[in-house]
A and B are shown apart, each in its own frame.
Chain A
Amino acid sequence: MSPVSTVSSRLIYDALKACDIRLLSALPETWLVHLVRMADDDPEMTLVRLAKEEEGVGISAGAHLAGVKSAMLMQNHGFLASINGIVSCAQLYRIPLLMLVSFRGEFGERDPWQTEGGAVTEDLLRALRIPFSYLDHPDHVARRIATAQTLALSANKPVALLLCRDLMWEEG
């Protein structure tokens, strides 16, 4: 039984649908497995599985200009892999971009390869002036996703939500 929280994933997924998100681009990682499966099973959602996360920035930009709301599901290392696309496509062209980024390499992380990425994620988001917040408790998931999307649309910019271990990982 995977310790990734299905309950939290369902809260997140439903909140995305409530914001009229109809396309999700994803490069899965452990914490995102249920979210990706929910998107795959949902006939109202277009799931685009990527080879590299940066592609998702372009795909979301195209979807947005076409009038369809989308979001990206990726690990924080995927965010690192996307940075040029975020800066020279989403920011340069003022494209709203909701990014759900799983926050690996933080307190509680057992995988050593994740730890460098965890250390730089928040500073990079700040350096790029990407507004961000944390999803770390079920009580605020729906509201934070809705308000993140509201800001992305009014600012015409990328906004990030960091999916935290306390929300996503069920383990004693």
Chain B
Amino acid sequence: MPDQPSATPDSAEPAIRTIGLTKHYSGGRHRPGRGLGPIRALNDVSLEVESGEIFGFLGPNGAGKSTMIRTLLGFLHATSGSARVLGMDVVRDSVALRGRVGYLPGGIALYGSLAGTASLDYYADLQQREPVKRTELAERLQLSSADLKRRVRDYSRGMRQKIGVIQALQHDPELAILDEPTEGLDPLMQLAFYEILEDLRAEGRTIFMSSHYLGEVERICNRVAIIRAGHLMAVQHVDELLARRKRRVSLLWRGTAPDLEGVPGLEDVVVSRDRITATLSGDVAPFIRAIASPSLVDLLIEPARLEDVFYEFYAGEDTGEGGAP
């Protein structure tokens, strides 16, 4: 009997919803002076990913990104809390939900003895869905039919990653869960991959991707969650996160320096000869009015970057928790 329970999703539900999701491992790694203790890989993570968005899950290695993904897919059993994917419980309806999800594991391992096409056929058979997007994906990722006829063991790392992307998306899943999807892809292929994700979003598909490449998350994600040592630090729209951050400004000046006292949001002002550097948050208009003068030679306002936000969350002491085994 096939493993396809008739779990019907609630279309009003978010694509992913976790409530207090916690995962602790009983055996811990050795820490100098602290002995062996439990690994708290996820701590009370509550999160919602809406249908049709590209959601970035950010954190450094060992922060709990893969643990979260593996719990959603039923590879790991939560210590407490609950999770629903496409309206289905990740424990009770695990098999059914995997029929509607595409998954790319981090550092994907493939069968070296199989040709690319045979690998994809095998995965498509197991998925029990037609690989309707395979040809298009192969073309966009520049995998020729000759490439696909070669054995996977002869592939470069980038080509393996392309097969990984195709196997995750070839059956046109409603939700794609991608763990470090651009790992090993060259810059051109990364661009092609971003376009694929944009198109999927336009078609109403949901993408949940983990990454430690902040640039790509900033570029393609609608919202991001930042996880640190198993704790969710922030969940916000990328634009909102950036809007709250400080821009770096740099002025090149000839003559008397302008009076920047009282400009709202301007901080860390450093004046050195004909150059002024500072940070600026909030509305930019008062600052522009303050510096408007023929003496202004050059002006550079660097946009806030996700990287700055990320580092801000990661500043300070390690909590001593987290870490996916």
A joins B in a complex:
no
Which A residues contact B (CB, under 8 angstroms)?
none
